[in-house]
């Protein structure tokens, strides 16, 4: 009894396997020859354009999600405490501080680094502290905070880099600061900060920078404001809000112009890709109608004239599913190659 059941089960499995093989063969046999390749090329082109547009959109969103810093200046009068408070309440602004800048050179033994000195309140410094901590806002001894990029900016007279700067105990060293007027000041490092900036920077308190400029006979800038935003995508709105406070951002909005150009490319790729995909779908529908005239002879050839309609529909889905899958793979491969070439 059990043997008969096993024989029937094996026979049923064999019959099912044969029907699946016949269905695959039928799907391949009933695919129009020239039309399927043209449809595949159109679909591959559509997916290439769509994937490229999606990639551009992801790049834009990733760049706009990064933190952003800008400085603004008062148009006529200085920056009052109420103006400073209102600027900190602008949506998207994380921190504000009065600021001033000065280009200077830091010297350690035979090595020297050109850095941008920026005065900020110690409370707004943000990042990973590699060593030390923020400087005290009120102190007689001048302190500064180096960013990580400044450590690798030190060069000697032969342009050789400082060896293993991350291993030095910077908080125990004394550096010599030299400004454009050749005025030198001994200064200490209170900490090293990984702030994500690629240029060499040094931060210090507003009072200390004013003292350094005064000792060097340089004028101090009044009415400058520094702002840090949670993401760069909010920059345009923040600049507009600052203009309502009679503050003018002094950086050119180059990134916004680049985003606008990328958004135009994204819209072109997505729109064209959708149109080409719609055309490919229309060709699929036309070829499916043409296929129906050849379906029944193919069924008779494969001894499948009794195949039910639901199975025939599954065969059609299988046939076009294979075509769409191959087209997606071709389009994705093309998009990856295009990104690699244009990177």
Residue 7 domain-assigned (yes or no):
no
Residues 249 and 278 in one domain: no
Within this chain, do residues 244 and 265 fall inside the same structural domain, yes or no?
no
Which residue range(s) make up the domain with 285?
A: 24-61+259-342
Per-residue pLDDT, 17: 55
Q: What integer is the mean pLDDT of 108-136?
A: 89
Residues 316 and 191 grouped into a single domain:
no
pLDDT score recorded for residue 315: 61
**Distances 72 to 26, 222, 231, 250, 326 between C-alpha atoms, Å:** 71, 11, 17, 6, 54
pLDDT band at residue 11 under the 50/70/90 scheme = low
**107 and 226 assigned to the same domain:** yes
Task: Find, among 90, 98, 148, 87, the residue nearest to 122 by Cα.
Answer: 98
pLDDT at 180: 66
pLDDT of 163 > 90? The answer is no
Number of compact structural domains in the chain:
2
Residue 3 lies in a domain: no
Say what the pLDDT of residue 195 is. 84
* Within a domain: 127: yes
pLDDT grade for 297, boundaries at 50, 70 and 90:
low
Is the domain of 134 the same as that of 188?
yes
Residues 270 and 194 in one domain: no
Please give the Cα distance from 210 to 224 (Å, whole number): 13
Among 198, 220, 253, the domain boundary falls at 253
In a domain, 107, yes or no: yes
Q: Does residue 173 share a domain with residue 87?
A: yes
Average pLDDT over residues 212-232: 80
The verdict on residue 195 lying in a domain is yes
| Greater pLDDT, 155 or 332 | 155
Q: Pick from 207, 228, 253: which residue ends a domain?
A: 253
Average pLDDT over residues 124-145: 84
Both ends of the chain: CA-CA distance in Å? 69
What digits encode the pLDDT tens for the residues 55-103?
Answer: 999 998 988 888 888 888 876 667 778 888 888 888 988 889 888 888 8
Determine, yes or no, domain membership for 19: no
Chain CA centroid to CA 328, Å: 24
Last residue of a domain, one of 205, 220, 253: 253
| Lookup: tokens for 112 | 């020297």
Instruction: Kindly state whether residue 12 falls inside one of the protein's structural domains.
Output: no
For residue 301, what pLDDT is reported?
Answer: 46
Asked whether residue 270 falls in the same domain as residue 196, the answer is: no
236 and 268 share a domain? no
In three-state form (DSSP H/G/I as H, E/B as E, the rest C), the secondary structure along the chain is CHHHHHHHHHHHHHHHHHHHHHHHHHHHHCCCHHHHHHHHHHHHHHHHHHHHHHHHHHHHHHHHCCCEEEEEEECCCCCCHHHHHHHHCCCCEEEEEECCEEEEEEEECCEEEEEEEEECCHHHCCCEEEEECCCCCCCCCCEEEEEHHHHCCCECCCCCECCCHHHCCHHHCEEEEEECCCCEEEEEEEEEEECCCCCCEEEECHHHHHHHHHHCCCCCCCCEEEEEECCHHHHHHHHHHHHHCCEEECCCCHHHHHHHHHHHHHHHHHHHHHHHHHHHHHHHHHHHHHHHHHHHHHHHHCCCCCCCHHHHHHHHHHHHHHHHHHHHHHHHHHHHHHHHHHC
Residue 243 counted as domain residue: yes
Cβ 56 vs Cβ 266: under 8 Å: yes
Q: What's residue 279's pLDDT?
A: 84
pLDDT at site 303 = 45
- What span, in angstroms and rounded, lies between the C-alpha atoms of 212 and 103? 12
State yes or no: pLDDT of 39 exceeds 80: no
* Shared domain check, 211 and 92: yes
Q: Are residues 91 and 236 in the same domain?
A: yes
């Amino acid at each position: 009894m059990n043997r008969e059941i096993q024989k029937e089960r094996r026979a049923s499995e064999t019959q099912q396997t044969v029907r699946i093989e016949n269905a695959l063969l039928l799907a391949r046999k009933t695919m129009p020859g020239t039309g399927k390749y043209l449809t595949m090329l159109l679909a591959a082109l559509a997916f290439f354009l769509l994937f490229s547009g999606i990639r551009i959109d992801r790049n834009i969103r990733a760049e706009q999600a990064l933190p952003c810093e800008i400085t603004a200046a008062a148009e006529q009068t200085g920056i009052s405490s109420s103006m400073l408070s209102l600027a900190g309440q602008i949506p998207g602004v994380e921190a504000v501080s009065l600021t001033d800048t000065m280009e200077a050179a830091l010297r350690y033994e035979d090595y020297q680094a050109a850095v941008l000195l920026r005065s900020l309140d110690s409370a707004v410094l943000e990042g990973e502290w590699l060593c030390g901590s923020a400087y005290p806002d009120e102190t007689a001894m001048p302190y500064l905070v180096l960013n990580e990029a400044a450590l690798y900016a030190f060069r000697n007279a032969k342009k050789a880099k400082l060896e293993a700067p991350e291993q030095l105990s910077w908080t125990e060293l004394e550096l010599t600061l030299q400004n454009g007027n050749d005025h030198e000041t001994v200064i200490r490092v209170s900490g090293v900060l990984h702030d994500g900036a690629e240029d060499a920077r040094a931060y210090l308190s507003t009072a200390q920078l004013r003292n350094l400029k005064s000792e060097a006979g340089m004028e101090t800038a009044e009415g400058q404001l520094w702002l840090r935003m949670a993401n760069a995508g909010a920059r345009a709105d923040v600049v507009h809000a600052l203009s309502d406070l009679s503050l003018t951002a002094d950086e050119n909005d180059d990134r916004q112009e680049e985003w606008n150009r990328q958004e135009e490319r994204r819209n072109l790729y997505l729109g064209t890709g959708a149109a080409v995909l719609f055309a490919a779908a229309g060709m699929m529908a036309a070829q499916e109608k043409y296929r129906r005239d050849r379906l029944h002879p193919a069924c008779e050839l494969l001894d499948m004239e009794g195949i039910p309609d639901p199975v025939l529909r599954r065969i059609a889905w299988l046939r076009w599913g294979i075509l769409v899958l191959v087209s997606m793979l071709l389009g994705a491969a093309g998009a990856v190659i295009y990104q690699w070439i244009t990177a």
